Amino acid sequence: MSVRHKSSTVDGRLEEVFDAPVAELYERAAGPDASAAVSRAMELRSFLALAEEQVARVRDRVHEAMAADRDMDELSADELRMDAQWLDAALDARDGYRAALDDLLRTMPPPLPQPRPFRTAQQTVTTALPPALAAPAPQRAGAVRARRP
């Protein structure tokens, strides 16, 4: 499954900040007019979603190993130690990506207001001059006189 379709713990905040669903934000980030903030936010969100999936996998594996109905002879301290190290690394990565995303969202410039289309009521007046007043202008009308030395 693509990280675009995995949920993350920051999806609601991203949707609130950028005023769009995560799927649309990925589309924006891939577009030619993508802002640096959207591109970086979605990249960090992708990394975060993977880190959170790793945390969940290790957690589920430890829960399964420690299930009450599980045979105690199957427990392995070495496997649990390895899972604890893996969980520690995955949590560190998750915390780092969340912190980076929080910093980005806190320091990015506010979004530009969306231009709203507007109409101006422009009235035009057309008049017809009577034929007597509509005579052609003289040839030198509007000509500038030359200065005399």
Dump pLDDT digits (tens) for 117-144: 656 666 666 666 565 555 555 566 555 5
Residue 21 has what pLDDT? 94
> Tell me: the pLDDT tens digits for 91-107?
999 999 999 999 999 99
Residue 75 has what pLDDT? 87
Which of 92, 61, 91 has its CA nearest to residue 79?
A: 61
Percentage of residues of the chain with pLDDT beyond 90: 58
Gap between the Cα atoms of 79 and 81, Å rounded: 5
pLDDT above 80 for 65? yes
Global confidence as pTM: 0.69
Q: Are 55 and 87 in contact (CB under 8 A)?
A: yes
Q: End-to-end CA distance of the chain, in Å?
A: 88
Residue 140, classed as helix, strand or coil, is coil
CA torsion sign for 53, 55, 57, 63 is: negative
Gap between the Cα atoms of 29 and 31, Å rounded: 6
Which of 88, 34, 83, 29 has its CA nearest to residue 61?
A: 83
Mean pLDDT of the chain: 84
pLDDT above 70 for 9? yes
Residue 4 has what pLDDT? 86
Tokens of 5: 């379709």
